[in-house]
Amino acid sequence: MKNISKTTIAGLTAAILGLSMSFSSFADDESDRKAKRAEIRAQFDADGDGELNDTERQAAREAFKAKRKERIDTDGNGEISDAERTAAKETRRAKMLEKFDADGDGQLNDAEKQAAKAKYRKKMAKRFDADGDGELNEAERNAAKEAREKHRERRQEHRQDNSQDESNT
Q: Do 30 and 42 form a contact (C-beta atoms < 8 A)?
A: no
Domain count across the chain: 1
Q: In sequence order, what DSSP letters do the residues of 107-155 get, joined into one string?
A: S--HHHHHHHHHHHHHHHHHHH-TT-SSS--HHHHHHHHHHHHHHHHHH
Number of other residues whose CB lies within 10 A of the CB of residue 21? 14
Q: In sequence order, what DSSP letters do the residues of 12-32 get, joined into one string?
A: HHHHHHHHHHHHHHHHHHHHH
Task: Examine residue 1 and state whether it is found in any structural domain, yes or no.
Answer: no
pLDDT tens track of the chain, all 169 residues?
Answer: 455 555 555 444 544 545 444 444 444 566 787 888 889 889 999 999 988 899 998 998 899 888 888 888 889 898 888 999 899 999 999 999 999 999 999 999 999 999 999 998 888 888 888 888 888 899 998 998 998 898 888 888 877 776 665 555 5
d(CA 169, CA 152): 26
Q: Do 126 and 42 form a contact (C-beta atoms < 8 A)?
A: no
How confident is the model over 29-64, as pLDDT tens digits? Answer: 667 878 888 898 899 999 999 888 999 989 988 998
pTM of the model: 0.50
Structural domain range at position 160: 6-167
Q: Is the dihedral of CA 152, 36, 22, 71 positive or negative?
A: positive
**Distances in whole angstroms, Cα of residue 108 to Cα of each of 7, 19, 93, 97, 101:** 20, 13, 10, 7, 6
